[in-house]
Structure 1
């Protein structure tokens, strides 16, 4: 989708900038260009520079300006020419493309959408519409796990949990506070509450045994669709709060086993 976004803006800019302009990705493959015949070609010498910084650099008669949200640039704009005008055009294009990419990610990113749903930042009527736009399966069962860090070292528990659940189309991991991490896990229809507790236990054991990070995990009930994820999250919160009072020695607390529903 980024390719289409970038190509659309490059196409609009090509008449205003009297030079060949375009965008390369982190592998130095041209993904958008005012000269369509160059889309898909690669310059391996450019990729070496992309890994260094966000500074402007010049290669083979073109001026490049890397951009992206991470420390290592995701993309680079290129403008034909090596003069000050080319550098200015490249900087302006990098700003424009970076902002449009950020807007698109915030608007359509699934992880951000799920986070807003569980925090009740999306109107109920908009949830179904947005879920349809993002192609969420409304018939899939999911459960919310709230992982609260009790003690930790320099290892990022968030990164560890993300690596445990790498499929970003099915499972969603995000921070809501410095100590609270949410996992929204897609489930099979045969999964029951004991299976959820086993999964939570494996998360806690991995963090404890391999990374010396102690956590408590609250588990909400399994829900179908997207709208009820906020309820499952509140249940996971309640499980942790009640467990903190009545089951102080329990690492895993499931809402199903609280006996207060």
Structure 2
């Protein structure tokens, strides 16, 4: 439904142009918006009588009345003050404008509901195509689902901020499923690739940060070419957000295509993870390692197992790094300089991270 403020802004603009007082009422005669101070209270009885009449317009005590319909049901009554032919024309223009607003808002509401049900898999396949046709939505366009997660609830209207980034006449869909998550179903151009989608995500993050929004995270699904697959891209974007928080917490934009092995670990059952860690570390845990050892391990992985570069970045002698690696091998049985052992150790560290995250999520 159109907000009263939108209607008020519309008739204020019309009065500025025409100098004619205009009011909008519901079918019972309650004034919703008006440019008159007395708000036509004395004519409330006249509105219900006009509503039940067969006339589309009527002149009552110095006012032209007009009906605004919503699928054969009278939604609003518009009045224009004056009896002249010019006032009648202004009233017709005002009612036509309100009618167009009603159609536009209803279409937006219908599309919003359709997209939400599409994302949540609440539609049968035949319904998806039938409703797409009815709402004039292309079924075979290239699209991608993007989720924007914010921590702010009432400080900033993040949904409107995101809508403001994209032109209103585009074929993109922007909706919200809760207080924190905004979903953008973006229609892509023929040559758009992942890098182009990530630039869109960066634009969203930068804009929301500029609006004093903190802790904004964006998850990106994979590109789909059929509208029935939008829900799949949405689920992938959700997983990208979750997996990104666990393994790549320093990143604010995470694409499903870049999750790598983290996506596999995320789907492992916790009992299996515990058994794996117990076997690898023989009852110990990476939490038992001191800070120096953990820093050394992470830096070694960052430099692709390069001893010289790692020692340089740690500002230590090469032999000192070798000593630390030898000590780690003695404690765990894994030599990080051996490719197979380094993979096992890296996976083990990620599994421990995943277990910690799931443990905290339960509370």
Higher relative contact order (CA 8 A, sep 6+): 1
The alpha carbon displacement at 1:50 in A equals 5.0
Q: Deviations over 1:191-239 (max 9, x none)?
A: 1111111110111011113433431000011111311000010000010
Aligned: 1:97 with 2:97? no
1:146 aligns with 2:147: yes
Q: Distance in 1 between matches of 2:32 and 2:209?
A: 38
Confirm or deny that 1:184 pairs with 2:185: yes
SS in 2 for 1:174: strand
The two structures, once aligned, show a CA RMSD in angstroms of: 4.2
Classify the secondary structure of the residue corresponding to 2:145.
strand
**Per-residue deviation, 1:106:** 7.2
With normalisation by structure 1, the TM-score equals 0.64
Kindly indicate which of the two structures has a greater share of residues assigned to strand.
1
- Against the structure 1 CA distance between its residues 108 and 247, is the aligned structure 2 distance closer, same or farther, given a 3 Å change threshold? closer
Structure 1, unpaired ranges of 5+: 1-24, 29-41, 66-76
Q: Which has the larger radius of gyration?
A: 2
CA contact 2:147–2:183 (8 Å) conserved in 1: yes
For the 8 Å contact 2:151–2:216, the answer to whether it is kept is yes
Quick check: 1:54 aligned with 2:32?
A: yes
Alignment of 1:1-261 (within 5 A): 26-27=10-11, 44-47=19-22, 49-50=23-24, 54=32, 57-58=39-40, 80-81=59-60, 96-98=73-75, 105=106, 109-151=110-152, 154-259=155-260, 260=263
Q: Could you state the TM-score of these two structures normalised by the residue count of structure 2?
A: 0.48
Give unpaired runs (5+ residues) of structure 2. Answer: 1-8, 26-30, 49-55, 77-101, 265-363
Q: CA deviation at 1:44?
A: 5.0
Q: Distance in 1 between matches of 2:231 and 2:194?
A: 18
What does the per-residue CA deviation read over 1:32-89, in whole Å, with 9 as the maximum and x for residues that have no partner?
Answer: xxxxxxxxxx975234x459x6168449x99669xxxxxxxxxxx975435xxxx9xx
**In structure 2, C-alpha distance between the alignment counterparts of 1:46 and 1:115, rounded to whole Å:** 40
Residues 80 and 182 of structure 1: CA distance in aligned 2, closer, same or farther (over 3 Å): same
Asked whether the equivalents of residues 174 and 183 of structure 1 are also in contact (C-alpha less than 8 Å), the reply is yes
Q: CA deviation at 1:169?
A: 4.6
Q: Take 2:165 and 2:75, find their aligned partners in 1: how far apart are those partners?
A: 30
Judging changes above 3 Å, is the alpha-carbon distance between structure 1 residues 64 and 192 closer, same or farther for their aligned structure 2 residues?
farther
* More helix per residue: 2
Q: How many residue pairs were aligned?
A: 206
Q: Tell me the alpha carbon deviations over residues 105-131 of structure 1, each in whole angstroms, 9 at most, x when there is no partner.
A: 379822321121011121122101111
Question: In the TM superposition, what whole-angstrom CA distance separates every residue of 1:150-201 from its partner, at most 9, and x where no partner exists?
Answer: 3467221111101111335511111101001111111001111111111101
Aligned-partner SS, 2:236 = helix
